[in-house]
Structure 1
Amino acid sequence: MTIKKHPLVPHMVRQVPDQFSWVDHRLVRERYIDHISHSAACLYLFLVTVSDAQGVSYYSDQTLQQRLGMDGSGLASARNALMEQQLIAFRKPLYQVLALDYRRGGYHDQL
């Protein structure tokens, strides 16, 4: 059975904003998200939202903890999980959301 999709609230259909930010659908379709915790997914969404066109952003641990409601060990655990899954790179103070295209292709070895 095919479901016909249509906007439920047509006057509120989202548009690509002027700022640069997106979530790659492959995160769900290719099950990347199945391998991270809720706190790691929360951190990932925040980083995707605030990063520039190159995926780079910088927020202090203190700010991330406050904005995401995490303690220091929770943030470190979330960050490490994202790094292990090759979804982000981190070198204090910079975060980079990595392209999913290179996740399994040995790109991590270049970091």
Structure 2
Amino acid sequence: MAIKRVICPERIREVPAQFSWIDHRLVRERYIERCDACAAALYLFLVTVADAQGLSYYADTSLARRLSMAPARLAMARNDLIRLGLIAWQRPLYQVLALDGPTPAPARHSSSAADVAAQLERLHAALGKRHA
């Protein structure tokens, strides 16, 4: 067995004053293996910015820009995380969920026609860029 030693003692991590953590069960229970890189990046971002209840209010445009994702790809990553029971989402609110609870039923969205039209427009734009 390899002997562990601190490589850089002047940079040992400490629990920061702000609230943030990543649950080791993401690896042990193989959640991370069921995520693609985009879903994992979105999850890492949400875990990092969430408050003690797992809540954050980042808009899709901000998330897409910060994570260098097309809006359609962000939506796919978000849906993957919802499907895995890692997050809940009701625009504009995200909640990082506890790993030991039941998987929530998908939220019913009462989207307006304008909201649906905007989502379709973003999807078409993303698909158009991919084929251009």
TM-score (normalised: structure 1)? 0.91
Output aligned runs, 1:70-109, within 5 Å: 70-102=69-101, 106-109=102-105
Residues 1:12 and 2:11 are matched in the alignment: yes
Q: Which runs of 5+ in 2 are unaligned?
A: 108-132
Runs of 4+ residues deviating >4 angstroms: none
The alignment of Structure 1 onto Structure 2 pairs a total of residues equal to 107
Distance between the aligned counterparts of 2:33 and 2:103, measured in 1?
21
Identity of aligned residues (%): 55
Q: Aligned-pair distance for 1:7? A: 1.3
Q: Aligned-pair distance for 1:17? A: 0.1
Equivalent AA in structure 2 for residue 29 of structure 1? R
Q: Which runs of 5+ in 1 are unaligned?
A: none
For the pair shown, the structure with the greater C-alpha radius of gyration is 2
1:16-50 deviation line (CA, Å, top 9, x unaligned): 00000011111012111000110000000000000
Greater relative contact order, per chain length (Cα 8 Å cut-off, separation 6+)? 1
Q: Secondary structure at the match of 1:108?
A: coil
Partner of 2:51: 52
**RMSD, aligned α-carbons:** 1.4
Equivalent AA in structure 2 for residue 33 of structure 1? I
Partner of 1:36: 35
Question: Conserved in 1, the CA contact under 8 Å of 2:82 and 2:106?
Answer: no
Equivalent AA in structure 1 for residue 57 of structure 2? Y
TM-score (normalised: structure 2)? 0.77
